[in-house]
Amino acid sequence: MAAILPFISSGQESVININHITMKFGGLTAVDNFYLDIKKGELVGLIGPNGAGKTTIFNMITGVYTPTIGEIYFEDVNITGLPANTITKLGIARTFQNIRLFHSMTVFENVLIAETTKFLDYKTKTLMATTNSLKGKDLFVKIQRQNWFWPAVLGTSKYKKELKKMKEDTMLLLERVGLAEYANYPATSLPYGKQRKLEIARALATAPKLLLLDEPAAGMNPQESIELMDFINQILNDFDLSILLIEHDMKVVMGVCQRLTVLDYGKIIAQGLPDEIKHNPEVIKAYLGDDAV
């Protein structure tokens, strides 16, 4: 096996430090002793064949799963096992492999609902995170009607002020990501590439410091992938972010990532710069099989 060179620290502050985490599902070890340190402003790629454990790592970072072994530190806070909504509030946002927009809402409303999560109380956030039967507008209406939250604030000047600010922030965000002209369009009427962009915009509305992107180029045509690369670079700079990117499209991975970690069967098989990874025999073997090396 080729040597795994440790990443040489740039001396910058870490945004996240993943400290040797393992995730077991019964007898299956989906992730085995995974570690990664991401610095502020970095864009790191997490790649590997299907089933390698990439999404499971996102699920551990975001609180969907608690690692069987190991710890995760976000800005020096141990977030291992914290509820997902607390982790969002601390500053980690994600997108999913399959687009998860609120279908019956407009572009504006999709971002507004994420803006509101900055203001909603714990119970409301839990409801949003756990309500599977309600979608889109129905969910929004239900949240607004909750007699343990909204009546207390509805009509008060504080609420009105906050709502006004949320709407302004939503419009500002849509302008910054180039979606303002579509604000009143139904979200699902947008072309596929723009729906992906909207999903990322919705994640940005929670003001993350770390953004996890799970296969954002999936299903995109070559032109949309090129635009996505520009967009990822733009938000990295404009929103003062760090990004961890899962992606199968190697053109996108090699085009935007500053360094890469490669997984196979839950284990790290290589870490390094894109050019080093491209020629790493272990990586070529994992993707193409023994005959390739």
Ligand X SMILES: Nc1ncnc2c1ncn2[C@@H]1O[C@H](COP(=O)(O)OP(=O)(O)OP(=O)(O)O)[C@@H](O)[C@H]1O
Positions in the binding site for ligand X (CB under 6 A): 25, 28, 30, 48, 50-56
Please, which residue, 45 or 91, has the CB nearer to ligand X? 45
- Return the number of other C-beta atoms located less than 10 Å from residue 249's C-beta: 18
Please, which residue, 56 or 80, has the CB nearer to ligand X? 56
Please, which residue, 48 or 193, has the CB nearer to ligand X? 48
Phi, psi values for residue 123, rounded to 5°? -60, -40
Minimum CB distance to ligand X, residue 30 (Å): 3
Cα 251 to Cα 218: distance, rounded to the nearest angstrom: 12
Minimum CB distance to ligand X, residue 283 (Å): 14
Minimum CB distance to ligand X, residue 88 (Å): 20
Minimum CB distance to ligand X, residue 54 (Å): 4
Please, which residue, 16 or 179, has the CB nearer to ligand X? 16
Minimum CB distance to ligand X, residue 14 (Å): 23
Minimum CB distance to ligand X, residue 70 (Å): 16
Cα 43 to Cα 210: distance, rounded to the nearest angstrom: 10
Please, which residue, 68 or 233, has the CB nearer to ligand X? 68
Q: Which residues contact 8 (CB under 8 A, 6 or more apart)?
A: none
Minimum CB distance to ligand X, residue 98 (Å): 10
- Asked if 82 contacts 26 with a C-beta cutoff of 8 angstroms, the reply is no
Residue by residue, DSSP assigns 250-271 as HHHHHHH-SEEEEEETTEEEEE
- Asked if 199 contacts 190 with a C-beta cutoff of 8 angstroms, the reply is no
Burial class, 150, CB count within 10 angstroms (exposed 0-12 / middle 13-18 / buried 19+): middle
Please, which residue, 25 or 192, has the CB nearer to ligand X? 25
CA-based radius of gyration for the chain = 20
In degrees to the nearest 10, what's the CA dihedral of 126, 132, 137, 142? -50
Strand order in the sheet with 242-246: 92-94, 210-214, 242-246, 43-47, 259-264, 267-272
